[in-house]
A and B are shown apart, each in its own frame.
Chain A
Amino acid sequence: MSVKNREVIIMSIILDIIVMGLIKGSIYALLAISFSLIFGVARIVNIAHTAFYMVAAYCIYTVTNYMGWSAVPAMFVAVILSVILGMVIYKVFLNPIREHEGAVLIATMAIAMVFQEVMTLFFSGSFLSVPNLIEGYFIIFGVKVFYQQLLTLCAAVLVMVVLVIFLFKTKLGLALRSTAQDREVANLMGINESKVAMITMGIAIGLAGFAGAIVVPLEILEPHMWTPPLIMMMAVVVLGGLGSLKGSFVGAYIMGFTEAMVVFLSPQGAFLKVSVALLIMIIVLLIRPEGLFGVYFEEER
């Protein structure tokens, strides 16, 4: 192999890693930030978080396949329905037991299982898929990138920018961050903590639903599709520091790039990508038990 050829291959691999890492990282970031948000504000460890991601994906499948709608309005429907469903579930099942963290954990797990079984009931265990919003691919330095992947990346980044603006430039965002920092003091300052928690739940589920909606053309729909992203999302959140939005953001890209590097640098070990990502999380926790941007529990008020 000539030196030039080798250089081209190395360049392609690096580019592959960058593209895949960015896409995976952005999806994990969307899920992890929304998960962190609801944990920070309402102290709810929502195991059903990625189940809403699945619900949105199935919504799109239903609306495009059975109602004949195109994918873009289907995405809106999916996100809106997920948000409504999430808020109803919060009001009916989670709010009454919110102070009992163990009970909330188990309740959300049960809700996720119910969603899974309902999907199995209606759609069976068959593998399904939905069409891309944009078909085709482009080639950059010899690397083929789907337009859908690029769209997913752009959409994820855009939503994260909007979220950051919302959190840091609006009054409601300030209320959310205040409640996340200290619920009692926020309450004393006149913030309706219960209402904020409800709104946060809606936003978080909306983000999970949005992640599901933009990812679904790249994924295979099946009733257990919520579990692999759940594991990665939890890992990202723990790696970044529980409740830290910045930590979730950075952790997500670390995990995304790790996965991409394992696949491209070790083809025979591609199946190890999740294990390697989780190993990195464990190593980081051994060095910094509070996660990258977390705080010691003792330091929390």
Chain B
Amino acid sequence: MKWLKSNVFVPVLAFVFVMFFWATAFAASDEIRIGVIGPMKFIQGKSQWNGAVMAAEEINAKGGVKVGSKMMKIKLIQADSNEFLSITDATNAMERLITRDKVHFVVGGFRTEAVFAMQDIACQNKVIFIGCGAASDELCNRVAKYYDQYKYFFRGTPFNSTALVKAAFSHVGSTAEVLRNELGITGPIKVAFVAEKAQWADAMVPAVQATLPKMGMELVGVWRPSPVATDVSAELSAIQRSGAQIIFTFFSSSVGIPFARQANELKIPAMQVGINVEAQKAEFWQATRGQGNYVITSSTYARNVECNELTKPFVEAYIKRFGEVPTYTTGTYESIKMSLVDTIEMIGTLDPDKIVATLENRVYKTPPSTIMYVKDNLGRHTHDLKFGPGYATGIASQWQDGEFVGVWPNKWKPAPGVEVTYKGVKPIKIPPWMIKAYKK
């Protein structure tokens, strides 16, 4: 350890520190650093990263972001939150982005519990954080209740849980209509409700019990498998015995795969409609070995479905770049390009308070929808997305012979005199074994 005592050690150490801080300071001056946080070993995180990469590439290819008189390039910094397994890892990743990497903005986050913790850290440090994964209403209720503290949080994607439920009921209604028309079912459509045992789905049980009869349908049973169940043939046997014609699913976890697969393998004569997050992924077809056919799920993108004029160019460019249809966590794309960069160029500064004040009042188009941030009943900013025709609606897609096809909104009537159909949607297909069972 002689070298420790030598005269060279202290100057070398000082030099390294100076270089490090100089490099950080230099980097800060000509680039906008954006942290992309998410479970990077999983498809949700990969999609978040892909969306961000695409946005950064497009912006940098045009010379960067015009901030006042200066052009600044986008630099992305990836942070693996590992949030499916550890909330602590997620908070550490957010801390690292802010304190070590000194990011200006953060996009991403997926699991609600983790996003709450990330939201606290980002907002304490006055770093704008656009959530691109969690749907909990409470994330934005916090903004309304404690605006000064949480105003740096915005919802990017998806729309909130309440809106997700509204959309899912509409999808069930449309499917019931198709069954009545094509199979000649005259009485109330029988619906089995299958929701994974998770907090986000608990509130759905009373909602389904109250709403389905009003929609002219009959609830024949409620099943609550574990979110990670790998064998649901028992539940499916019971569902078939109940005579259900629609299986209203509420899955965000892996159970969506065995359920879809086994229902098709057992040729259960009922249509699966609702939320099945696994079915939104391109990998679903392979994961179910093609047995996910005819499953309908809420989604954000399907090839050839156009919510507005920006949808198709984005989806095609994404497919060209990454070889798959984007999922909703690619919302990092519009969060960076349309929410952040457009606002920065409008006001010419990176000051978070000024960006918040401008962004919360903007109405702008993104590939999946037109964004408008709503206020609550008391007129307080929530930074939550407006749901409904003309704004964010999402779509419903069905797996049809290996293709993820948009099937909703198709003549959707959200209000008297209003009918919505997105360009490119196709009719819902009924499984042939169901047609056979009902056309005997």
Q: Interface residues, chain A, CB within 8 Å of chain B?
A: 9, 12-13, 16, 20, 120, 124-131, 135-137, 143-144, 146, 149, 218-220, 222, 225, 228, 260, 263-264, 267-271, 273-274
Whether a CB of chain A sits under 8 angstroms from the CB of B234 is: yes
Counting CB contacts under 8 A, is B283 at the interface?
yes
- How many Å lie between the Cα of A13 and that of B67 in the bound state? 68
Using CB atoms, name the residue of chain B closest to A117. B41
Cβ-defined partner of A260 (8 Å) among B196, B234, B257: B234
B351-393 contacts to A, CB under 8 A, are none
Closest to B43 in A: A126
Known A-B contacts A129-B287, A220-B257, A267-B223; A124 and B241 likewise in contact (beta carbons under 8 Å)? no
Q: Within the assembled complex, what's the spacing in Å between the Cα atoms of A270 and B266?
A: 19
Interface string of B3-47 (1 = CB under 8 A from A): 000000000000000000000000000000000000101110010
The 8 Å CB contact of B223, one of A125, A146, A270, is A270
Whether A264 contacts B84 by the Cβ 8 Å rule is no
CA gap between A89 and B14 in the complex, in Å:
46
Check B84–A125 contact: CB distance below 8 A: yes
Identify 15 residue pairs between A and B in the complex whose beta-carbon atoms are under 8 Å apart, listed by A's number: A124-B42, A125-B84, A126-B287, A129-B288, A143-B237, A149-B233, A263-B234, A263-B235, A264-B234, A267-B235, A267-B238, A269-B224, A270-B223, A270-B224, A271-B226
A135 to B262, CA, bound (A): 11
Which chain B residue has the least Cβ–Cβ distance from A222?
B254
Given the contacts A260-B234, A267-B238, A120 and B287 also touching, CB distance less than 8 Å = no
Distance in Å: Cβ of A174 to nearest Cβ of chain B: 38
Chain A residues with Cβ below 8 Å from B177 are none
Residue of B nearest to A136 (CB): B265
What residue of chain B has the Cβ atom nearest to residue A24's Cβ? B231
Task: Point out the residue from B227, B235, B289 that lies within 8 Å of A129, measured CB to CB.
Answer: B289
Chain A residues contacting B235 (CB-CB under 8 Å) are 263, 267, 270
Contact of A127 among B227, B233, B278 (CB under 8 A): B278
How far, in whole Å, are A270 and B84 apart by their CA atoms in the complex?
Answer: 23
CB < 8 Å neighbour of B237 from A12, A127, A135: A12
Q: Is the CB of A128 within 8 A of B287?
A: yes
Which listed residue (A13, A20, A137) contacts B266, Cβ 8 A?
A137
CB closest residue in chain A, given B223: A267
- CB <8 Å contact, A271 and B43: no
Complex Cα spacing A149 to B237, Å: 14
Query: Would you call B237 and A220 a contact (CB within 8 A)?
Result: no
Q: How far is the CA of A129 from the CA of B230 in the complex (A)?
A: 11
Q: Please encode chain B, from 209 to 238, with 1 for each CB lying within 8 Å of some chain A CB and 0 for all others.
A: 000000000000111111111110111011
The 0/1 profile, CB within 8 Å of A marked 1, for residues 113-141 of chain B is 00000000000000000000000000000
